[in-house]
Chain A
């Protein structure tokens, strides 16, 4: 009789090594659509141009000062656009990737490999996690060169630290959205609604002072608002580490709760699908 052996659950190192396979896979898929790959850059630049021309209509007095400095609407909006890119990535990419695997019929093949569901989740968005910041960085550089944005390069480390504490919040919501997709298939409507509501009261694209008073008060507790304000202070106001510390204190508990809730919801959704036998159904 053949000796049958089996190993314990996959080691963390081996799981981490698998992540590069996802990155390569997603790059190859994206590269197979070369025209779309290239035009996405052009589209981004087009979006920035729209903000530039809209900015010409905006009364500079309506833009709040950042760290005591006056900023242009384009500077205000570009930081919002950058953060919006990360929010979109975290909120929608996990569920979109999962939905795509369901539609492609590859989800069951993926989950029958000795790979943890967390690796599949992270792996599905890792390429974007690398690609989107690079794309955003290029955009900022391009805008700074063309339109002379007054970005404070010294604020980049603070911005990155702030993002590191903010992204788990979005990530948790993203996993929650993936759980919704897994359960209801077309969960994009719910996710879109939540993203829209959060973005509306975030001050990403317009000053919060334009909102009704009560909504402005609510928006102060929105983690997107906290992150956007913190990023602007670091990148435009040059306020240093002091202001970032307060934002991190506010964001940390929200991020922890978000990740816990998201992870639990995803686990429940996966267990339900296994029980119903509809994991790969679309």
Chain B
């Protein structure tokens, strides 16, 4: 596998075999192939009780396939998968699942009756199922909606209902598949807060798949980055950020009289080969600085300041996690 020099400067890839002892979720060397496509190749990870483990990756990375293997819906071609030490299909009573999409409820019946039905399939007696369902609805802020048909609930409410269902029977393992991908920021935050609280208070092992990079900082304890079915990274969020190779910055330079294109051309000249300057279409005071490999940000800023450019602010164009994601996935592609 070829690596760029910039990539070589980053910390080494953390492709360590996860520690399999005491794990609630164990995935060891799992491979799955669908017809002509490798969905997963030798994927390993482990999640301990109380831990939120983010499974990060672009579309088609294999995140949902791994979750479906863990929930016993799909069989792996090779490798070992265990929930609480046993085969997933023998551990269904320990499992809570928040599936992707909004099609996992009976839309014509009420939120309460849906939860009661699934509670009873987990072996609860009706009276207990009703009581627990009411508690679960209250815990996700849907106490006032219990008699409303699920089809009449908003997407955000349906997603919270899915979390309530997953937590209904006190699972020890929670698999959450892209629970926030079509929610507004507030709705997404509410769902994350619910899951984080459950993981912390009930020591639930959570495997959370997402392609929203911004949601893993401050939420996930560990991250596995999947790309085209392969593990590109497995470690803490801080370790992931260490892979960040920020090369693009947004500079704020107000009060320049010349046309923006002329400013960008003149600034690129001032950088003397350290990088290039482009314009930000939506904001006339902002410009994008793209550093070349080996160029140092401080030197570039000093050169621009010396050439009379009034730089009042400088920030990375993308978050550090996003940069790490791009660096890790691009490196493999190269």
**Which A residues contact B (CB, under 8 angstroms)?**
1-2, 4-7, 9-10, 14, 17-18, 20-21, 24-25, 28-29, 32-33, 104-106, 108-115, 271, 274-277, 279-280
Contacts and interface: CB of A to CB of B under 8 A. Distances in A.
B73 A274 contact: yes
B73 A114 contact: no
B101 interface: yes
A259 B278 CA distance: 72
| Most chain B C-beta atoms within 10 Å of own C-beta, residue among A1, A109, A276 | A109
Interface of B: 22, 24, 32, 34, 39, 48-50, 65, 68, 71-75, 84-86, 90-95, 97, 99, 101, 103-109, 113, 116-118, 120-123, 125-126, 149, 165, 172, 203
**Main SS at interface, chain B:** loop
Contacts of B105: 106, 109
Nearest to A19: B120
Nearest to A8: B90
Given A25-B113, A105-B99, 19 more contacts: A2-B203, A4-B24, A6-B93, A9-B90, A14-B123, A17-B125, A18-B120, A21-B121, A24-B113, A28-B108, A105-B103, A106-B104, A109-B99, A111-B73, A112-B71, A114-B93, A274-B73, A277-B32, A280-B73
Given A10-B123, A105-B103, A279 B74 contact: yes
A25 B49 contact: no
What are the 9 tightest A-B residue pairs by CB atom distance, in nearest-first order?
A: A105-B103, A21-B120, A2-B203, A113-B121, A277-B74, A2-B49, A4-B84, A32-B108, A114-B92
A110 B121 CA distance: 8
Contact of A109 (B86, B93, B118, B149): B118
12 contacts: A21-B121, A21-B126, A105-B99, A105-B101, A108-B73, A112-B72, A112-B73, A112-B92, A114-B122, A274-B75, A277-B32, A277-B68
A277 to B, nearest CB: 4
Contacts of B106: 25, 29, 104, 106
Contacts of B93: 6-7, 10, 114
Nearest to A103: B103
Contacts of A25: 106, 109, 113, 117
A188 B104 CA distance: 23
A20 B90 CA distance: 23
A115 B117 CA distance: 12
Contact of B22 (A1, A104, A111): A1
Contacts of A10: 93, 123
B105 to A, nearest CB: 7
A113 B92 contact: yes
A53 B82 CA distance: 65
A271 B73 CA distance: 10
Contacts of B94: 4, 6
B109 A28 contact: yes
A9 B73 CA distance: 17
A160 B73 CA distance: 39
Contacts of A14: 123
Contacts of B48: 1
Contacts of A274: 72-75
